[in-house]
Amino acid sequence: MQITMIGSGYVGLVSGTCLADFGHQVICVDNDETKINGLLEGRMPIYEPGLADLVLTNIRAGRLSFTTDLASAVKGADAVFIAVGTPARRGDGLTDLTYVFAAAREIAAAIEGFTVVVTKSTVPVGTGDEVERIIREVNPTADFTVVSNPEFLREGAAIADFKKPDRIVVGLEDERAREVMLEIYRPLYLNQFPMQFTSRRTSELIKYANNAFLAMKITFANEMADLCEAVGANVLEVARGIGLDNRIGPKFLQAGPGYGGSCFPKDTLALVKTAQDYDSPVRLIETTIAVNEVRKRGMARKVMAAVGGEMRGKTIAILGLTFKPNTDDMREAPSISIIQALQDAGCIVRAYDPEGMESSRTSISNVHYARDAYDCAVGADALVIVTEWDAFRALNFERLKTVMNKPLLIDLRNVYRPEEAQRHGFTHVGVGIASR
Ligand code: UGA
């Protein structure tokens, strides 16, 4: 198959590279020349484990290439994927579809022969209809059909998620697209990964419903954590207890400082707006958003309560800035609200993150960046784990104790059992773990 991927950001780059690895001929397009030149030289625009090697292997095998020339990449392609950004629009929070529609226009002008145009970007219900309308308007004689094929990749695990998906969802309105999509995902289909064919609108909604449900599940765990602290229970045990029920399942029940990232916050908001527009509100999701928003800053109050007394001049060491480990992504990271609230209270903030320090500079300021966890802890009145990077899973507590002002660990990801830290003379404050 000849596949063109429009947009070489996170989704486009990972999807394009994995499809090339399946044996297809893939051209990734982006209008950012620096990005394309970097990729051609093997420089990744994002941090994603395993991606650089896979890109290089497929370039060398002659299956993967990069260009800024959209028109020539679209000509003769069997399928053209739209994987451009869909940020939240400033002001109303609705999805900004400018890039999607611009891509549709450019694709329309370049189409040759029967082409399946596949929307991979996360787009609100009805966007496929609009993409179809635009292409037909620009090029009335074009032979094409528009398909929805949402992505379910997690940052940090994107390659594994693409190659071993729980399912592949394909929304189509023209049966000719079914064969093309089956061919594209042939290696997965042959390996019995479920492929769900449905209507385009249903497929578009599945993506939002999926993320909204997961965001709600995390938020449920977070509220249970607060309740556990209040009633003297342990949220890890509650999560295990309910997660063992097959109907609930154990994943996405880890209580923490609130969800962040580029997907859950944006997609939940977009779903709420769509639902309101159709006069069919999704109140559970409205509440999820509200609870999560309050929670992030609330974590700073938790830190302050543990430290106690006057906060002005206290030093707080933050371990982990990114919204989750194995990424350099700072979008909607709980660390931003936590640090801001601590600074508002007059605290001095030191921070360390294995990958996110550079990208954090636009969202946080007046922070002393440390070389590693131990350097971060120097003079600290509390050490706060905000993101559960592996590098923080086996900290040397004795060494930490010698550099800290007070041996206080606030573990917002429950990385350590309280006893482990207490054994070394630390006070341990977790999430949803009532102190004895
Ligand atoms: C999420 C979905 O998991 C992917 O399936 C989806 O494709 C992607 O959004 C998207 O729409 O593009 P991602 O945002 O990369 O992926 O990250 P997650 O691993 O889902 O984590 C999101 C947030 O939830 C993080 O802040 C994480 O720390 C938090 N989280 C996750 C918890 O607090 N507890 C959990 O149990 C799980």
In a domain, 102, yes or no: yes
Per-residue pLDDT tens digits for 321-333: 999 999 999 999 9
Residue 134 located in a structural domain:
yes
Of the residues 176, 198, 220, the one at which a domain ends: 198
Residue 391 lies in a domain: yes
Residue 229 lies in a domain: no
Same domain, 155 and 268: no
**327 is in which domain, residue-wise?**
264-429
Å from CA of 123 to ligand 1 middle: 18
Of the three residues 181, 198, 215, the one that is the final residue of a domain is 198
Neighbours of 358 (CB within 10 A): 11
Distance 387 CA to ligand 1 centre (A): 13
Q: What is the pLDDT of residue 436?
A: 61
Q: Does the residue 170 lie in any domain?
A: yes
Separation of CA 264 and ligand 1 centre (Å): 7
Q: Which of 18, 28, 228, 263 is labelled catalytic?
A: 263
- For 135, the 3-state DSSP assignment is helix
Which atom of ligand 1 has the smallest separation from the CA of 152? 7
User: What spatial distance separates the first Cα and last Cα of the chain, rounded to whole Å?
Assistant: 62
Domain count, the chain: 2
**235 found inside a domain:** no
CB 288 within 8 A of CB 267: no
Strand duo 144-148 + 64-67: pairing: unpaired
The CATH number assigned to the domain holding 417 equals: 3.40.50.720
Residue 288 Cα to ligand 1 middle (Å): 14
Residue 257 lies in a domain: no
Is 18 a known active-site residue? no
Final residue in a domain of this structure, among 198, 225, 246: 198
With the most atoms of ligand 1 within 8 angstroms of its CB, the residue from 119, 254, 259 to mutate is: 259
Sign of CA dihedral 244, 248, 251, 253: negative
What confidence tens digit (pLDDT) does each residue in 182-219 have? Answer: 999 999 999 999 999 999 999 999 999 999 999 999 99
- Name the DSSP letter for residue 301: H
Cα–Cα dist 319/416, whole Å: 14
Beta strands of 162-210 (E only): which ranges?
168-171, 195-198
Q: Which residues pair with 350 in a beta bridge?
A: 317, 368
Q: Is the pLDDT of residue 366 over 90?
A: yes
The closest alpha carbon to 421, from 257, 298, 306, 334, belongs to 306
pLDDT, residue 87, reads: 87
Point out the ligand 1 atom lying closest to the alpha carbon of residue 150.
7
Instruction: List 2's β-bridge partners, or say none.
Output: 25
Q: Classify each residue of 15-49 as buried b or exposed e, where b means 16 or more C-beta atoms within 10 Å of its C-beta.
A: bbbbbbbbebbbbbbbbeeebbeebeeeeebbbbe
Over residues 152-169, the pLDDT tens digits come to: 999 889 999 999 999 999
Judge if 28 and 147 occupy the same domain: yes
